[in-house]
Structure 1
Amino acid sequence: MSKVCSITNARPVKGSKIHRRGLAKKKGGIGQHVTKAVSRTFTPNLKKKRIWVSELKRFVTVKLSTRALKTVTKNGAYATLKAAGVV
């Protein structure tokens, strides 16, 4: 099952998390030190939704991000799905 949004094409991207060690100076420590940069993936917040399209008089099941769900609510289901090439 792919982790790609049907409307916005949001997909996982690679990034890094910086590991730090020690207590910050403002908290009474001797300062934080960077020990390593560890790779990680940032995944989109995907939901599988059944959206009622009144023009087609049927439900359409799509996997979309929560950002895309907001776009569907704002612009309408048929217009958004048609622009994305889903319908």
Structure 2
Amino acid sequence: MARRCDLTGKGPSFGHHVSFSKRRTNRRWLPNVQTRRIWVPEEQRYVKLKLSATALREIERKGLLQALRDRGLTLRDIERRSRS
């Protein structure tokens, strides 16, 4: 499962775990991505999306369609991206 937010595009970050002896091993920091069904009242249906916690808060404040408009996206763009 791809850990990438459909709205913000947040994905894993990469870096090193550094032990006490300063030995470096690769590691990933994973974003807090949740699969959610969001109700779109304008279209009278649910949309299933993978969203970060930041995106969920933004949708709660603005609504899904306004949050998409602010980022220059449409609902169709998001659905296409989450399917592929």
Q: Which runs of 5+ in 2 are unaligned?
A: 77-84
Structure 1 length as normaliser, TM-score?
A: 0.75
Structure with greater proportional helix content: 2
Measured in 1, the distance between the counterparts of 2:32 and 2:44 equals 28
Runs of 4+ in structure 1 off by over 4 angstroms are none
Larger Rg: 1
Residue identity over aligned pairs, in percent, reads 30
Structure with greater proportional strand content: 1
Query: Aligned-pair RMSD on alpha carbons?
Result: 1.5
Measured in 2, the distance between the counterparts of 1:56 and 1:68 equals 20
Q: How many residues align?
A: 74
Q: Which runs of 5+ in 1 are unaligned?
A: 21-33
Measured in 1, the distance between the counterparts of 2:23 and 2:47 equals 45
Structure 2 length as normaliser, TM-score?
A: 0.77
